[in-house]
Amino acid sequence: WTLLQATAGDDQVRALAAALALRYRRTAAGDVDHANAMTVLDAQGVVVHQRFGLGGVGEVAGAVARAVG
């Protein structure tokens, strides 16, 4: 799945980050620093599960299974 491409403008990046409650910052070198997060959306694009930090893959996999039925 492609959510955002490197060619996306800053407005698109800000909008997606806001919708997913993610914080990020661009470095002087042009890279992007951000937290680790896994977000599961339902078919309507509503966040049904979100996990911040490392680990929790099983938890997120369960949320995906529930979201897709």
In angstroms, the CA 66 to CA 20 distance is 19
Integer Cα distance of 44 and 34 in angstroms: 25
Is a pLDDT exceeding 80 seen at residue 8?
no
What is the spatial distance between Cα 64 and Cα 39, in angstroms, rounded to a whole number?
9
Which residues, other chains included, contact 39 with Cβ-Cβ below 8 Å and sequence gap of 6+? 20, 47, 49, 50, 51
User: Could you report the per-residue pLDDT of 53-68, keeping only the tens digit for each?
Assistant: 887 778 878 887 887 7
Mean pLDDT across 38-49: 85
In angstroms, the CA 28 to CA 45 distance is: 33
For the entire predicted model, the pTM comes to 0.63
9 vs 33, more confident:
33
Region 43-61: mean pLDDT is 82
The pLDDT of residue 52: 85
